[in-house]
């Protein structure tokens, strides 16, 4: 449901929240419909407590909210890594990092919304760049970066790291746990 709402053009935050609200309201409506059939107040009360909680709980069990889902905890850092002159969201990645590869799904959505996204893969192997290019599609550029750049201050050892830059300068940096739906919505406002 969340992906469907994102593809409809809703913000990442609304797309994350609306399904939970929808299922809780569905439970309330069902409780209201069923409560008409009972005369005892305790049964009605029980319906209005259990059904919304049950519907919300079932959706939550299938699609849990993780700690970083609503995060937007950016930081700034200095680096000698060359960033583009235009506003760009760069994703610093490792070649075989499963979290880095998983991030391509949300980056493709951001790219469709007009965000200029590039993947910077820490590797010397051209095949690593080509593997990411297959995952990201044609709207996202992928390039290799050398290990010679001082990246520890920028990435803090966490991958993927998302870097918003403009005019060759770093504006904001997020690690994977800090780049939730609020951060994605903030990035969209820059484009």
The CATH number of residue 163's host domain is 3.40.30.10
The answer as to whether 151 is a domain residue is yes
Are 37 and 103 members of one domain? no
Tokens of 169: 């300068």
Give me the number of domains the chain comprises. Answer: 2
Are 92 and 185 members of one domain? yes
Are 14 and 94 members of one domain? no
Task: Tell me which residue range forms the domain holding 52.
Answer: 2-62
Q: In percent, how much of the chain has pLDDT > 70?
A: 100
Once rounded to an integer, what is the mean pLDDT over residues 178-190?
A: 93
Are 49 and 94 members of one domain? no
> What is the DSSP secondary structure assignment for residue 122, as one 8-state letter?
E
The answer as to whether 82 is a domain residue is no
How far is residue 30 from each of residues 5, 39, 44, 51, 177, measured CA to CA in Å? 23, 16, 11, 7, 37
Are 183 and 116 members of one domain? yes
Residue 85, burial from CB neighbour count under 10 angstroms (0-12, 13-18, 19+) = exposed
Give the number of other Cβ atoms within 10 Å of residue 10's Cβ: 15
Confidence class for position 45, pLDDT limits 50, 70, 90: confident
pTM for the full predicted model: 0.83
Confidence class for position 152, pLDDT limits 50, 70, 90: confident
Separate counts of helices (H) and strands (E) for the chain: 7, 5
The answer as to whether 76 is a domain residue is no
| pLDDT higher than 90, residue 86 | yes
């Amino acid at each position: 449901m969340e992906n469907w709402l994102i593809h409809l053009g809703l913000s990442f935050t609304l797309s994350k929240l609306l399904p939970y609200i929808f299922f809780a309201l569905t439970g309330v409506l069902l409780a209201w419909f069923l409560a008409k059939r009972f005369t005892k107040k305790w049964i009605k009360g029980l319906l209005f407590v259990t059904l919304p909680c049950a519907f919300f709980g079932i959706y939550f069990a299938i699609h849990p909210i993780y700690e970083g889902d609503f995060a937007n905890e950016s930081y700034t850092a200095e680096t000698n890594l060359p960033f583009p002159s235009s506003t760009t969201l760069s994703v610093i990645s490792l070649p075989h990092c499963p979290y880095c590869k998983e991030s391509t799904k949300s980056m493709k959505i951001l790219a469709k919304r007009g965000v200029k996204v590039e993947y910077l893969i820490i590797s010397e192997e051209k095949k690593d760049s080509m593997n990411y290019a297959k995952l990201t599609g044609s709207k996202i550029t992928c390039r290799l970066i050398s290990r010679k750049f001082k990246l520890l201050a920028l990435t803090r050892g966490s991958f993927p790291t998302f870097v918003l830059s403009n005019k060759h300068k770093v504006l904001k940096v997020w690690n994977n746990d800090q780049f939730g739906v609020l951060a994605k919505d903030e990035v969209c406002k820059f484009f």
